[in-house]
């Protein structure tokens, strides 16, 4: 089947979206346009993707349609970003961003208006302050409601705007300010969280250098990575980041692949080995034949996986938006009917029924409903922060307690993330102390993680080290030099083979035990071996036991390490299920398969390689200090302690129960007074008192979550 040359895809950034409703408005507006086959708009990453027939419409027309709605349209970049902007802290967001400043000004206007009113000042004074608050907090809400109305939709933004205007017309200024201020506060908090996630993805993209040195013919040329094609030969010197995926055709080196695989131990690379763009060359000189261009590298795919997974999930908290799609038109339609039907059909006084319609709009504005969820979330988040757990929004708080399965990364999550000496094996005529001393003496000048681990063990045992002479370093193999016993070398099985020495028979059992072995010998004799491994976190076993008691049905470990290592770690922590030798796309596949088997899946990780799986899970937890894992995850274990997981789950369950209580109470109360107001039994004062009373009760109920403490 041949492809249709007229069917094209447009990708763009859309700026100015204030809430998920904005994304839905743009998408519905484009879906009905001539020539557009499919439009997808993601509020989480501000991206638009349109499949269109170029014979029926153009990119310019699509741009004009988006900009006519009041949004800014920018064609999306297709290559990794060279730089990224550091995301602001909480106080920087409120003080130095326009959205934060607007809300602070609105809050100040609200406070000054209340003070002026209570002080008995002239009405025009406190009305000016209230007006400042309503305009600064509500103009974005009003704009979103107007845009939705132009597209034939009536959403919660429109109802909030109409209710605020109605309250002002009726003289209920405080009610009008509360409507827009609380609603705007919620959207600002959401915008802050999403902005940090977008910038974290930019940080990941910035791992790829913008230029690289390429050999073409007999010349070395510096090219932009967009100019490099498959088959070109990259020249990679020590300390440089590798620009693109490829295969080593010359040289040997150790490569820090933690950005891709998450493994802390550098991988030894030689001719024929695959290498990833964005990884760091440590010691040797390499020539790499490019196999993937900048748009198709493994790192670029990880970026797309993160963005796609984030865009596809819909937080349970957004059910209010769906509710508003029915509730808002119904309320506005009812108010219009109340205002015009009695005067037209039954000769009733117009002013009286317009007043009743405005009262209905004010009563219908769901202030208690708006407050009910945020106050519970803020209270729970406050309690969690004191306990060392950071919930980054309502989604994680709602979903953590609903998990049936929880997947774990291994390196840096269940383990400490750096190797340490586990055992010294004596194979020749010497002692374990001598083997460790010889190895540490040679490794004093090396930056390899194994070298640091060996030196740390020698320091713990207070060994006296020698100063080696004539030191030779062979990247990807090992190191050799002259000590008091003659020439000594330390290296892997490849260096062992280079000296013509056979592997010891015990090597296979060491590997099966999950250990990585460094051999120590002289020019013709194997003296011994030093076994290293990434040790478990001290709290890992207890944390897994606590989670099993919470009733989670499945705990699964996902790792890029060998099967033998995975088996050993799983047994040590008490987990029955594990998957090994996984790249980031494989981890994402495992998460998707788990989602087919269980309703709600969680993921715990610490590295860049975990980002796609973290984003794809229903709820994700980050441990450690990797920026992207922290920004991608819904929940961060700030205390770097896995035992905080069961507290997060318990708090989530209690918070969800409280939110449900508040929502039900708010809706029932609202329904009763809507009915009473519609028949003229309840007036505006009674309705406002009832709404404020309901708001107070749900606030107090939500604040109880401040008292939930870690066990």
The residues annotated with a catalytic role in the active site are 409
Tell me the C-alpha to C-alpha distance, in Å, between residue 226 and each of 13, 84, 201: 21, 19, 20
For 457, the enclosing helix (H) or strand (E) is: helix 449-460
| Cβ proximity of 442 and 453 under 8 Å | no
| Cβ proximity of 53 and 206 under 8 Å | no
224 by DSSP, 3-state: which? strand
248 by DSSP, 3-state: which? strand
Closest CA to 294 of 189, 209, 187: 209
Per this entry, what is the length of the chain? 711
Burial of 52 (0-12, 13-18, 19+ CB in 10 A): buried
Please enumerate in sequence order all residues whose Cβ is within 8 A of that of 84, keeping only pairs 6 or more positions apart, or say none.
199, 202, 203, 205, 206
- CA 80, CA 57: separation in Å to the nearest integer? 29
Place of tokens 């209905």: 360
- CA 125, CA 121: separation in Å to the nearest integer? 7
What backbone torsions phi and psi does residue 262 show, to the nearest 5 degrees? 85, -5
Q: CA-based Rg of the chain, rounded to a whole angstrom?
A: 31
280-310 in b/e burial notation, b at 16+ Cβ within 10 A?
bbbbbebbbbbebbbeebbbbbbbebbbbbb
How does DSSP classify residue 418? S
- CA 579, CA 26: separation in Å to the nearest integer? 41
Tell me the C-alpha to C-alpha distance, in Å, between residue 307 and each of 117, 312, 486, 589, 610: 49, 9, 57, 16, 13
| Cβ proximity of 572 and 543 under 8 Å | no
DSSP-assigned states of every residue in 498-541:
HTT-PPPTTHHHHHHTT-EEEEEEESS-EEEEEEEE-PBPTTHH
Strand intervals (E) in 282-397: 286-290, 389-391
* Sign of the C-alpha dihedral computed for residues 217, 220, 226 and 230 taken in this order: positive
Please enumerate in sequence order all residues whose Cβ is within 8 A of that of 461, keeping only pairs 6 or more positions apart, or say none.
433, 436
- Strand order across the 233-236 sheet: 219-224, 211-216, 233-236, 286-290, 246-250, 274-275
For 255, the enclosing helix (H) or strand (E) is: strand 253-256
| Cβ proximity of 238 and 285 under 8 Å | yes
Place of tokens 């269980």: 598
Structure tokens at 152: 């034939």
SS (H, E, C) 603-654: EEECCHHHHHHHHHCCEEEECCCCHHHHHHCCEEECCCCCCHHHHHHHHHHH
């Amino acid at each position: 089947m041949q492809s249709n040359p007229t069917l094209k895809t447009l990708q763009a950034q859309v700026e100015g979206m204030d809430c998920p409703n904005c994304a839905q408005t743009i998408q519905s507006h484009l879906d009905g346009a001539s020539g557009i086959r499919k439009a997808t708009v993601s509020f989480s990453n501000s991206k638009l993707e349109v499949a269109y027939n170029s014979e029926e419409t153009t990119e310019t027309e699509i741009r004009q349609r988006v900009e006519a709605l009041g949004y800014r349209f920018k064609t999306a970049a297709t290559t990794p970003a060279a730089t990224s902007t550091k995301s602001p802290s909480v106080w920087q967001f409120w003080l130095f961003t326009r959205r934060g400043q607007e809300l602070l000004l609105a809050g100040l206007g609200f406070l000054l208006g209340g003070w002026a009113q209570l002080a008995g000042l002239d009405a025009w004074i406190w009305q000016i302050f209230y007006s400042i608050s309503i305009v600064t907090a509500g103009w974005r809400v009003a704009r979103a409601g107007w845009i939705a109305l132009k597209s034939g939709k009536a959403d919660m933004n429109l109802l909030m705007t109409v209710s605020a205007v109605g309250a002002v017309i009726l003289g209920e200024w405080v009610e009008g300010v509360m409507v827009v201020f609380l609603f705007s506060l919620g959207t600002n908090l959401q915008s802050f969280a999403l902005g940090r996630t977008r910038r974290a993805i930019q940080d990941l993209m910035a791992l790829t250098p913008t230029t690289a040195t390429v050999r073409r013919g007999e010349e070395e040329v510096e090219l932009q990575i967009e100019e490099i094609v498959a088959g070109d030969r990259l020249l990679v010197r020590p300390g440089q980041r590798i620009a693109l995926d490829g295969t080593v055709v010359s040289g040997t080196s150790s490569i820090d692949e933690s950005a891709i695989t998450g493994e802390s131990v550098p991988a030894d690379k030689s001719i024929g080995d695959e290498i990833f763009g964005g990884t760091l060359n440590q010691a040797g000189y390499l020539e790499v034949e490019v196999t993937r261009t900048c748009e198709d590298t493994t790192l670029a795919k990880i970026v797309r996986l993160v963005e796609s997974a984030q865009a596809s999930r819909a937080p349970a908290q957004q059910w209010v938006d769906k509710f508003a799609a029915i509730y808002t038109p119904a309320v506005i339609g009812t108010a219009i009917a109340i205002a015009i039907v009695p005067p037209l059909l039954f000769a009733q006084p117009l002013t009286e029924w317009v007043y009743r319609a405005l009262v209905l709009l004010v009563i219908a504005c769901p202030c208690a409903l708006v407050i009910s969820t945020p106050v519970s979330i803020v209270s729970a988040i406050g309690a969690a922060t004191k306990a060392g757990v950071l919930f980054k929004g309502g989604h994680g708080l709602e979903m953590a307690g609903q998990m049936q399965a929880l997947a774990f990364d291994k390196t840096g999550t269940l383990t400490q993330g750096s190797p340490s000496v586990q055992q010294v094996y004596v194979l020749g005529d010497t002692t374990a102390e001598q083997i460790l001393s010889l190895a540490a003496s040679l490794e004093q000048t090396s930056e390899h993680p194994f070298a640091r681990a060996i030196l740390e063990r020698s320091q713990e045992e207070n060994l006296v080290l020698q100063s080696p002479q004539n030191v030779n370093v062979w990247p990807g193999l090992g190191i050799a030099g002259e000590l008091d016993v003659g020439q000594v070398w330390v290296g892997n099985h490849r260096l062992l083979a280079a000296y013509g020495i056979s592997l010891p028979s015990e090597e296979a059992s060491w590997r099966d035990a999950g250990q990585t072995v460094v051999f120590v010998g002289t020019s013709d004799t194997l003296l011994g071996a030093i076994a290293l491994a990434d040790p478990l976190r001290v709290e890992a076993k207890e944390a897994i036991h606590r989670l099993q008691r919470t009733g989670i049905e499945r705990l699964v470990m996902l790792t890029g390490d060998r099967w033998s290592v995975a088996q050993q770690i799983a047994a040590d922590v008490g987990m029955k299920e594990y998957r090994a030798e996984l790249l980031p796309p494989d981890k994402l596949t495992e998460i998707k398969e788990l989602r087919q088997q269980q309703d709600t899946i969680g993921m715990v990780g610490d590295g860049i390689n975990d980002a796609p799986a973290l984003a794809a899970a229903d709820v994700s937890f980050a441990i450690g200090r990797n920026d992207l894992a922290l920004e991608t995850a819904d929940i961060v274990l700030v205390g770097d302690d896995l035992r905080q997981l069961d507290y997060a789950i318990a708090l989530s369950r209690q918070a969800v129960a409280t939110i449900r209580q508040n929502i039900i109470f708010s809706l029932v109360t609202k329904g009763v007074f809507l009915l009473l107001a519609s028949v003229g039994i309840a007036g505006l004062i009674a309705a406002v008192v009832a709404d404020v009373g309901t708001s107070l009760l749900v606030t107090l109920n939500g604040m109880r979550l401040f008292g939930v403490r870690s066990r």
